[in-house]
Amino acid sequence: MTAYFPRESDTVRVALSPDNAGKLHQLGFELVVQSGLGEGLGWRDQDYMAKGARVVANADVPDGCGLVVRVNHPPGDQAAPRGAVHLSSLDAFRERELVGALAAAGISAISVEMIPRTTIAQKMDVLSSQASLAGYAAVILAAERLDRVFPMMMTPSGTIAAAKVFIVGVGVAGLQAIATAKRLGAKVEAFDTRPAVEEQVQSLGAKFVKVDLGETGQTAQGYAKALTEEQLAKQRDVMARQVSQSDVVITTAQVFGRPAPRILTSAMLEAMRPGSVVIDMAAATGGNVEGSEPGVEKRIGGALLLGAKNLADHVALHASQMLSNNYLALIEHLWDKETKALKIDPSDEILAGCLLTHGGEVVHPQFRQPTT
């Protein structure tokens, strides 16, 4: 079975490391990679060739290819041949037309960010691996842009107080952001709508900010549930006080499959001291902060607002290593040793959550068109 890994223009990350190319070759794959796939990471074409891969110059999907693997969703004409399997982050809730096109093209499309968060799928959890690194990168970016140091320093010239960092949203990215800010010596506080995460926050040495929102919780996949308008109003009151006292605010709150909740207003940022930094990690899905846009920097009052975009690209080498391991684990799970091919069974407990199209149809219940 031929597997193809093309070079992508919208990210530095890649879906295949040379080491894992060797492991896929040993499984029985004929590997094809586009020239320059890993050049941004110091991985040369020769490194892939040494592991059994064939290098091609252009981006055209090879004839007879049975698997195409990418980091992000593909251009419509470069997904995969009819009957083949496509793996990538498809951003399906915002790319519904693409989902329909993949079904019409007879492609079995797996959206890797929808892999269930179950014990058996931990090694395949692309969303968690990349979110963790993005949380780290967000803090490093904030430290770089802040006009003061993070740790408390006692010097002959006087004592410097520790920077105050406030993390909104304590999922995978938020937890890593807390841990990173603490390592840098900041005073860290965090908030989440799920009271159950308080212990995790405290275990990292941070303070959990409590807000009485009434009944909240999380989904079966571990994501925070959407709040009511009344709950959001209560949350904003506390956020306003907290934000005004912070030097750095990092927002990570997202509701899977829906626009990110709006948590911080421009008025809150205007009340921050000059030189403060706000990073909205949810900018690509609507933003937690009023006015944030992916990849855009702007001043609101004295605060610098950064709309995050591709934060994992800031640590692209390790992000690619982890991503490649995630893909390898999924491919090994689907690999049939006897037929030397991928077995796409929609009833498989992992595929049931992330297989969007198969056999010429949209098979995922969240994207199927209702019958009349």
Q: Which positions are annotated as active-site residues?
A: 117, 122, 125, 128, 223
- Tokens found for residue 341: 């091919």
- Please give the Cα distance from 107 to 99 (Å, whole number): 10
Rounded to the nearest 10 degrees, the angle between the axes of helix 18-27 and helix 316-334 is 10
- Please give the Cα distance from 162 to 149 (Å, whole number): 7
Q: Are the CB atoms for 45 and 55 separated by under 8 Å?
A: yes
Burial bucket for residue 347 (CB in 10 Å: 0-12, 13-18, 19+): exposed
| CA R_g for the chain | 22
Give every CB contact of residue 241 below 8 A, 6+ residues apart in sequence. none
3-state helix, strand, coil in the chain (%, to 5): 35, 20, 45
Could you tell me whether strands 361-362 and 341-342 are parallel, antiparallel, or unpaired per DSSP bridges? unpaired
Residue 295 CA to its chain's centroid (Å): 15
Longest distance between any two alpha carbons in the chain, whole Å: 77
- Please give the Cα distance from 102 to 79 (Å, whole number): 8
Looking at this protein, which amino acid is placed at residue 59?
Answer: A
68 by DSSP, 3-state: which? Answer: strand
- Tokens found for residue 54: 């064939």
Q: Is 36 left (phi over 0), alpha (psi -120 to 50) or beta?
A: left
